[in-house]
Structure 1
């Protein structure tokens, strides 16, 4: 490149704070067009397209790359010998037209190359994100490698994190669309580090900071869903916060289990917390023992006319009301006398009285187990 073209390129690069190397052979193309009227060949434009891809890969925005080319063009025009030495207006017009054509061609392919590279980078980033999230939630990957892989996503696996799952409750919910909106909302609320939003198995996965100073992620996400008026109805399940790479997997397992329990228990809540369902996790760990408990304690209620439903509902509301008969009566829309009669009938049939602490505990655990097993609506498994 001639010295004057080199000075043009250096000045343009300094003007827009962009690497001078991104100009490539662009300035000689402009000079050749102005002096000889030649338009670039396809291979020369292909080289400019590659420079656009290089700019994207180096983190130079499309706007800054275009500014570099525009700055170089007007600086070159001001110093063109054919313009400086000619007093022929027609000659100047032809030179300007040739330069503008090359400028238009070059910027067009420059931007196209930049956009192509950005799309490829986004696809690659999304692929890496999906793979990282899958490994992180599975919890069986090499910890040292996970720490390294987490760094580009701004995740410090030494700190506590909690996982929230956002699951559609109707057919209007599209996880991919909601994930895009939620990512913006989560970043606004928690910051652009220590958060990760992805989709998995038709649900949106949110990994957010945990600990005492962190906002309650499940409630916060549900608030953002409502505020943004996203289509469909969504349930958010939040696991507890745990430190370390395995802690993320553990929180995810809790959130997933909370969703499962919410469905099986027929909960109407839009937000469920794993900490509130721990008793169901304990009961559900030993399915055989749970079935035995429900069978031995509650199946005698089936002897009453109409089945066990009425007495079982009374027990549920009694325990939900903090074992206060007046509050249970209000919830059931019956008299307190009716509640006390039904509880006495339960004691008569089952041999377990709510007045005795050990028997009350067995009754309460059995009632929770019945709900988990969907009894009496669903028959208990046969004894083995």
Structure 2
């Protein structure tokens, strides 16, 4: 075999391990660069997953196609760099994620080479050529990451139209006193934390303030997301609104916290809106209130554990099969009706005997009575909507990040 054949064999061996390698990279990143995840931004999480996949694909393809390093990183890698800049992630943290990923990848190369090329005389030339390409690729990519990050940060923070307001909002969230006049927003009174994203966030924000007749304080977040507050100044006689009158532009979404008072309330409703936003990006509803997804927001802190719990509790009821979907729908109606079969039948439009038959089927599938696992089933059914609502399992894997412990600003 030629050197090129051996390099191709090495690349194919690593490719066969891509799922495990990706899992290793993700785990090591969260262990070794925790500061990169302090904001728990789902958009940045999506970009990171895309960047990992693009990096691995680029390295393997280049290894067998001449080993010429690229002029710059791929668009998906550069998108992560730009979003990291928008999220105010430190450049050193971003570069550390790249180094950790490269180290894990090279470990995999060494393991595969040891298995497929046991003869040292054959293995060493292959690893020498692979390492030369790998590190040349990393140097080129790192340089373009730094360039993209610095340009985006300069544009976003130093030339952005809301740069001064952003600094004041960051101080406010950090507990530092700010000047109301400079902020242009009253800190007293009633506030609602919001996150708006999608096709027309600015138009949605205008509709929102016009609907309530309240003031607003917003800044731009990652990928064009708009976040901040709408507020009712102290002394204005009007109550909270459930926004049922609001009609958002098509393709635009709104996540809301709960109505809160004064500065401390602003900080709390802001955190709630951000947590609701993380759930809403999966569920895809036009308007998502924190109070309606508080459980989902809590458990998203450990999504792998949630997935395991849901699958264990629902067993054969979990999945896209038609019968499983029908039985889950019946169970939800049954629990929502206070475990009254007649009421459940009326809700889903079937005969009471049909509900009874389906409930017996559930017990047969689960191998236990519904009553004995009522609480577990009820929670698992609610959480399963996160999984069933995603277009792909990948949509949820992208959200497996650490708990929110800061601000997206």
* TM superposition score normalised by structure 1: 0.49
* TM superposition score normalised by structure 2: 0.46
